[in-house]
Structure 1
């Protein structure tokens, strides 16, 4: 599956088969990142973290959260291309995750991402047409 097909087919998966993810596929998904109840069903949960560092983007914002967003986006696409499902989770008890995994306060827990074989693929959701979602030469209502 090419990346454009993975983008078209990517869905948030909230129900997983009771089936192990092969080590090779897990490593491929995690490699792509370089450069809730349904969470408990997933055989793997990726905890995406960031360490604030000195690098600041030209706009003045630190880059660590953007770096994590790019990495996890690559994970979702690699997972889909390998027949695995994911779901981006940004609302969770960060303190509990820190405590359970022993993550120090100097590391920011950004998101959770369950990973596994989906029990089914949700149908595509209805989306606005590009003529409703894209503006040229300024904001248009």
Structure 2
């Protein structure tokens, strides 16, 4: 599958089969994250791979009781080292860098026949406690990962290009 097909067919998956993700598949997906670009090549992303059902259940509760988080056979806690690296414009590097790495994961997951769903609604302090994450690490996203119950593509409702693109200036 080429990257354009992965982009066209990626969808948020909230129902997963009870089927393990092979370790070699998971490693290929994580390798894609490792290869993502980052500001100043800082590579601030860190990932906690969670397979344990009890821990996934706790994460689901910390994610505002989104049960499908526990249903996925793997949950990635997508984190960042936050050593204060700030771009010259004053913005922290890690939110963008981690998002790029996560997007690499989501697209490679599609290519492997897997589904994901970006989870930003969670209580970070609870996730950190559940996973033993130290204070200087930020949890940016939770990412359930597994085989979708319904692998059929969903038509994407997206605005047309002319509604979202301006050429040269806003006017």
TM-score (norm: length of structure 2): 0.77
Counterparts of 1:78 and 1:8, CA distance in 2: 13
Aligned to 2:42: none
Aligned to 1:74: 104
Aligned to 1:5: 5
Counterparts of 2:92 and 2:163, CA distance in 1: 32
Candidates 138, 141, 146, aligned match of 1:116: 146
What is the total number of aligned residue pairs between the two structures? 140
Q: CA deviation at 1:13?
A: 0.5
Name stretches of at least 5 consecutive residues in structure 2 with no aligned partner.
36-65
Q: CA deviation at 1:53?
A: 2.5
**Pair 1:59-2:89 in alignment:** yes
Where do 1:25-104 residues align within 5 Å?
25-35=25-35, 36-104=66-134
Q: CA deviation at 1:56?
A: 2.8
Counterparts of 1:39 and 1:78, CA distance in 2: 19
Counterparts of 2:83 and 2:8, CA distance in 1: 34
Counterparts of 2:17 and 2:116, CA distance in 1: 12
Could you say what secondary structure the match of 2:100 adopts? helix
Q: Is the 2:11–2:116 contact (alpha carbons within 8 Å) kept by the matching residues of 1?
A: yes
Q: CA deviation at 1:130?
A: 0.8
Q: CA deviation at 1:60?
A: 2.7
TM-score (norm: length of structure 1): 0.92
Counterparts of 1:70 and 1:2, CA distance in 2: 18
**Pair 1:125-2:156 in alignment:** yes
CA-to-partner distance for each residue in 1:70-94, whole Å, 9 max, x for gaps?
Answer: 1101000110011100001111111
Could you say what secondary structure the match of 2:136 adopts? coil
Could you say what secondary structure the match of 1:88 adopts? coil
Name stretches of at least 5 consecutive residues in structure 1 with no aligned partner.
none
Q: CA deviation at 1:38?
A: 0.8
Query: CA RMSD for the aligned pairs?
Result: 1.4
